[in-house]
Chains A and B, each alone.
Chain A
Amino acid sequence: MRGKNYLVAPVVLGIVLFFLAILGTSSARASHPAGDVTLRDLNGDPISIGSTTPYSPKQTCATSGCHDYGTITSGFHFNQGKDEIAENPPRDASKPWVLSPGMYGKW
């Protein structure tokens, strides 16, 4: 009996470590690899404690060349077809009023 009791602690510890490992890995939506990001306003200045100035996502994320704002925003979710507008010739001859495939310019 005494010998079996000695096994309890390591087994429990093992189970706990196992579940901690699972929990630790399962919630791992990769966070920002470059660390914390300073909030910046429209002019690119850091937002001071107590300020009520709106932060600028463009300055916050793209300042210092961290992210290429122009490239990122050329994706479809941002343009919604604006960069695919075609009037002459129309995209669809039977629907000449449809200028783009997205929400912008499509009717």
Chain B
Amino acid sequence: MKCGSCHPGAGPAEFSRDKDPNDPTGQAYLPYYDESTGQFGYEVLGKSASDVYSEFDGDYTFLHPMFMKYMNAPWNATGVSQADCLICHMEGYSWFNRTVTLGAGPNLFMVTGYKAFQSAPAAGAGWATINMNAVVMMPGQLPYLNPQAASDFAIDYDLGINSGTLSYDDPNNPSYYVIPAEVIVKETPDQNCWNCHGTPDVRKYGRSWESDTDAHNARGVFCVNCHPAGEDAPDPKIQGHEKHDFAKGTSMIGSVRDDLDGTMFDCEDCHVKGAYPGAPDPATAHAQIPSFHFGKIACESCHIPYKEDSVITPTKEDPDLVIDMSFNGNQVIYPWSSFFDNDPVDPTAHDSSAPSSRWYPSLVLFKGKIAPAKPLLTIWWGEWNGKTDPDEIVVQPYPLWQVRLALQTDPTTGMPQNPVVQGALTNDSNALAADGSDPYEVNTTAEIAAYIYALKTATIQVTDGGPDGSGTTPITKTGLGSNPVLVKGCRIFYLADDGGTPDDPSDDTIASFESELAEPHNFSIHHNVQPSYRALGAGGCEDCHRVGSPFFERKMLICPWDENGNPVYESAYEEVGYSEGELEELTESVPEEESPSLGSSECFIATAAFGSPLEKHVKVLREFRERYLLTNPVGTLVVKAYYALSPPVARFIARHETLRAAVRLALYPVVGIAWASLYHPGATALVLFGIGAAAIVVVRRKRSVS
């Protein structure tokens, strides 16, 4: 039911996995519960609740930490969650009220959960009283209503009348409640998005959308301005469809709705092509930056140079960096600050001139450009199929509840009680967990060997608790698998040799190999865009091109702890493919700005005038240069002369808005001829010939007259 806190209803919250046998089309799915008949969906199929959870291979289950029972999803206490339109279309919608209602209480959950599902939309809209004394707030859990509370919840539409979110059908003779038209907003307000996206996004990306440093937020840009839906969407895959999809970008993780990748407005759309009127033209600020930068570096790399806490939000916005599931079978989360202070080049150094919360995203290659990312490193146990070929390797993760049982993890202290594991563990971490503690980790050969032994041999026993905890059926399993491996820090660690004594892991040999499966999960960073004066490069080329460069030499975590318990870092230049020699060239001096090679994308004056090397007129001139000038000796000479003379002229033009406009006017005919030459060369030659001939005739006539 807690899924519904953010899930807006419908789809898998309304219908089960089974098709409705009574549907003539054969396409409709069974609803979870039909209040009119009092039947659950599975009952229509002639099944019992036990039949349903026996169909699943471990999903929809968890191990109750106190009762040590294998709990099944309460299929016999579920209901239907309809699409809650106001979760997006009502300003001030209460995510909290919806969430605690779905947590249920005695008035909603006595028999089944269907009443909670039914009542949640009204609660979220603010049309219900909620006894706050009955709300239970537990760290790490969603708030819920205490089932033991005497009273906790009641629908009261007069609350909506008093707040103005409801009115009457006829003020003089009221019969029914109505939602006033102005309460239903077309565009989803930002806060409604963040009700659900706030927590996961901070964990994935850190602070994402506050007005104190995000340039777009500060200027009143809304989520839906960049992620439009319906008729506002620029892409025909979304535009005009009542199907409620939002335009999206292209993510590095890239698993969700790849078919809609690139349907939103990107930086170039708004700032160069004019999709968002009023978006500042970056031409002036970019005019002095050699344009090959724009072909190699994503806008975000410079415009999100760092991230840090917002002074507006009350909580620390320290993203997750490492999730270690190997130590005890729980998720031990290490935030970014566990491995980095606030200096980009030295993870242990503190920069007193910057906020303590500041952190510097990783830089990785994505779609041919250097782009910022927030990595997430995960450490876990799984069953390896013995293959190393990237196309064949499979490591199936073990369910964490089974890992905890095999390690005999103490639910209170979190310490593994398995004697083999306990004997091998040593505390040698340099990292701190989210709570500031310094837990153990699995890193030495002896520790890995002991864990693998435990996972292969442990007998786990648990009781099938059923959906209500009363079950007593014992479940026994010996060993989680035959080939357990540890996935950690870009490598997979496996048992290479058991030393001849299978029951003694102390003489085992552990080997490892690199695998993509063990690489960090990189989340694209697009929010928290800094204004131009804070971007990399605003302080000159030396922002990046210097020894100790926060761009090329910033550190990225590769492995949380090596065999000695020390974190392993890599510099950004290595990740994006530069050699040490190239790093020296890039950082020991500023590369000569005025010495681009022929064939580069430079077009200084046109770029200064039109604002971007990507602007369509500049592209035409560049294509003309490539086809007609650089293909003959005279043209090449002209280009060389242009490169030698034009950069200072371009810089001057870029600083004077009137001059830029004048140069644009002057260039339009040139661009026109260039375009015609490229796409209609025959006709252009004919026209030019005609003009030339006419000019000659005119000159001769003038001479003869004189």
- Do these two chains really belong together in a complex? yes
Q: Are A29 and B255 in contact (CB under 8 A)?
A: no
B120 — nearest CB in chain A belongs to which residue? Answer: A54
A35 at the interface (CB under 8 A from B): yes
Contact A101 B121 (CB under 8 A): no
CB of B467 within 8 Å of the partner chain:
no
Contact B167–A36 (Cβ < 8 Å): yes
Q: For A35, what are the chain B residues with a Cβ–Cβ distance below 8 Å?
A: 181
Beyond A58-B82, A71-B242, A80-B11, 9 additional pairs, beta carbon < 8 A: A36-B178, A39-B177, A46-B177, A49-B174, A54-B118, A60-B179, A75-B243, A79-B11, A93-B392
The residue among A49, A74, A75, A93 with the most chain B CB atoms within 10 A of its own CB is: A75
Mark the stretch among B150-158, B558-566, B649-657 that contacts chain A. Answer: B150-158
| Stretch from A6-14, A16-24, A61-69 that touches the partner | A61-69
Chain A residues within CB distance 8 Å of chain B: 29-39, 42, 46-49, 51-58, 60-61, 67-69, 71-83, 93-97, 101-104, 106-107
Partner of B255, one of A30, A51, A77, A101: A101
Chain B residues near A55 (CB, 8 Å)? Answer: 121-122, 127, 177
Name A57's contact: one of B82, B157, B180, B397 (CB within 8 Å): B82
Sample 9 A-B pairs with CB under 8 A, ordered by A number.
Answer: A32-B181, A36-B179, A42-B35, A48-B176, A52-B155, A71-B243, A72-B243, A78-B244, A79-B12
Q: Which chain A positions have C-beta within 8 A of B393? A: 94
Q: In the complex, are the beta carbons of B11 and A49 less than 8 A apart?
A: no
- B91 on the A face (CB < 8 A): yes
* Interface residues as binary, B214-256 with A (CB distance below 8 Å gives 1, 0 otherwise): 0000000000000000000000000001111110000000011
- A57 to B156 CA separation, bound complex (whole angstroms): 16
> Residues of A contacting B82 with CB < 8 Å?
56-58
Q: Tell me the smallest distance from the CB of B360 to a CB of chain A, in Å.
A: 30
Q: Does residue B602 face the partner (Cβ distance < 8 Å to A)?
A: no
Q: Is the CB of A31 within 8 A of B184?
A: yes
Residues of B within 8 A of A29 (CB): 91, 185-187, 189
Rounded to whole Å, the gap between the CB of B611 and the closest CB of chain A is 28
Give chain B residues whose Cβ lies under 8 Å from the Cβ of A83. 11
B256 touching A57, Cβ below 8 Å: no
Known contacts A48-B176, A49-B168, A96-B394; A76/B182 CB under 8 A: no
Tell me how many residue pairs across A and B have CB atoms closer than 8 Å: 162
- Which of chain A's residues have a CB closer than 8 A to the CB of B157? 39, 47, 49, 51-52
Residue B614, interface by CB 8 Å: no
Chain B residues contacting A49 (CB-CB under 8 Å) are 157, 168, 174-177
Is the pair B186, A71 in contact by a Cβ cutoff of 8 Å?
no
**B161-199: which have CB < 8 Å to A?**
166-169, 174-187, 189
B257 close to chain A: CB less than 8 A: yes
B83–A54 touching, CB < 8 Å: no
Task: Report B324 CB to chain A, min CB distance, Å.
Answer: 18
Closest B residue, CB atoms, query A79: B11
Given A47-B176, A72-B83, also A78-B242 (CB < 8 A): no
Q: What's the least CB distance linking A42 to chain B, in Å? A: 7
Q: Say yes or no for B86: interface residue by CB 8 A criterion.
A: yes
Indicate with 1 or 0, residue by residue over B1-39, a CB within 8 angstroms of chain A CB atoms.
001000111111110000000000000000000010000
CB distance from A80 to the nearest CB of B (A): 6
B84 within 8 Å of A (CB atoms): yes
Say yes or no for B119: interface residue by CB 8 A criterion.
yes
Question: With A52-B156, A58-B83, A78-B10 in contact, is A46–B35 under 8 Å at CB?
Answer: no
Whole-angstrom distance between the alpha carbons of A101 and B260 in the complex?
13
CB-based closest 4 A-B pairs: A73-B10, A75-B244, A32-B184, A46-B176
Q: Distance (Å) between the CB of B690 and the closest chain A CB?
A: 53
Inter-subunit contact B178/A39 (CB<8 Å):
yes
A76 close to B257 (CB less than 8 A): yes
Give every chain A residue within 8 A of B255 (Cβ-Cβ): 101, 106
Once the chains are docked, how many angstroms separate the CA of A35 from the CA of B181? 5
> Measured between alpha carbons, how far is A60 from B83 in the docked complex, in Å?
11
B156–A77 touching, CB < 8 Å? no
B169–A38 CB distance below 8 A: yes
Q: Chain A residues near B697: list those with CB within 8 A.
A: none
Question: Are A31 and B12 closer than 8 Å at their CB atoms?
Answer: no
Q: Which residues of B contact A69 (CB under 8 A)?
A: 10, 83
Q: Once the chains are docked, how many angstroms separate the CA of A12 from the CA of B89?
A: 38
Nearest CB on A from B181, distance (A): 4
In Å, the complex CA distance between A39 and B127 comes to: 12
Assess the B181–A31 pair: CB atoms within 8 A: yes
Q: B617 to chain A: closest CB distance in Å?
A: 33
Residues of A within 8 A of B14 (CB): 73
Check A54 against B121 for contact (C-beta < 8 Å): yes
Nearest chain B CB to A79 CB, angstrom units: 4
Complex Cα distance, B394 from A35, in Å, reads: 56
Does B696 have its Cβ within 8 Å of any Cβ on chain A?
no
CA distance A42 to B10 in the complex (A): 14
Query: Roughly how many angstroms separate A54 CA and B154 CA in the complex, as a whole number?
Result: 10
CB <8 Å contact, A39 and B121: no
Give per-residue flags for B29-55: 1 if the beta carbon is below 8 A from chain A beta carbons, else 0: 000000100000000000000000000
Chain A residues near B245: list those with CB within 8 A: 75-77
Find chain B residues with CB under 8 A from A80 CB: 7, 11-12
With A and B bound together, what is the CA distance between A49 and B178 in angstroms?
A: 10
Given A42-B118, A47-B176, A71-B242, the answer on whether A36 and B258 have CB atoms closer than 8 Å is: no
Find chain B residues with CB under 8 A from A71 CB: 241-243
* Closest chain B CB from A97 CB (angstroms): 6
Residue B396 interfacial (CB < 8 Å)? yes
B475 at the interface (CB under 8 A from A): no
Residues in B whose Cβ lies below 8 Å from that of A47: 157, 176-177
B391: chain A residues at CB < 8 Å are: 93
Closest approach, in angstroms, between the C-beta of A32 and any C-beta of chain B?
4
In angstroms, how far is the closest chain B Cβ from the Cβ of A47? 5
Q: Are A31 and B242 in contact (CB under 8 A)?
A: no
Interface string of B485-521 (1 = CB under 8 A from A): 0000000000000000000000000000000010000
Are the CB atoms of A101 and B176 closer together than 8 Å?
A: no
Write out the residue numbers on chain A whose beta carbons fall within 8 Å of the beta carbon of B176.
38-39, 46-49
Contact of B179 with A37 in the complex, beta carbons under 8 Å? yes
Interface residues of B in 568-586 (CB under 8 A from A): none
Q: In whole angstroms, how far apart are the Cα atoms of A33 and B182 in the complex?
A: 9
B354 close to A (CB within 8 Å):
no
B241: chain A residues at CB < 8 Å are: 71
Is B396 within 8 A of A76, CB to CB?
A: no
Residues of B within 8 A of A48 (CB): 175-176
Closest CB in chain A relative to B433 CB, distance in Å: 24
**In the complex the two chains form, is B396's CB within 8 Å of A57's CB?**
no
Measured in the bound complex, the distance between the Cα atoms of B185 and A76 in whole Å is: 20
User: For chain B residues 596-646, which have a beta carbon within 8 Å of chain A?
Assistant: none
Cβ B155 vs Cβ A78 within 8 A: no
Q: How many Å from the CB of B485 to the closest CB on chain A?
A: 14
Residue B547 is within 8 A (CB to CB) of chain A in the complex: no
Q: What is the CA–CA distance of A106 and B672 in the complex, to the nearest angstrom?
A: 53
CA–CA, A14 to B31, complex, Å? Answer: 60
A104, B241: Cα distance in complex, Å: 23
Task: Provide the residues of chain A in CB contact with B169, threshold 8 Å.
Answer: 36, 38, 46
Q: CB-defined interface of B411-453 with A at 8 Å, one 1/0 digit per residue?
A: 0000000000000000000000000000000000000000000
The answer on a CB contact under 8 Å between B83 and A73 is yes
**Is A72's CB under 8 angstroms from B244's CB?**
yes
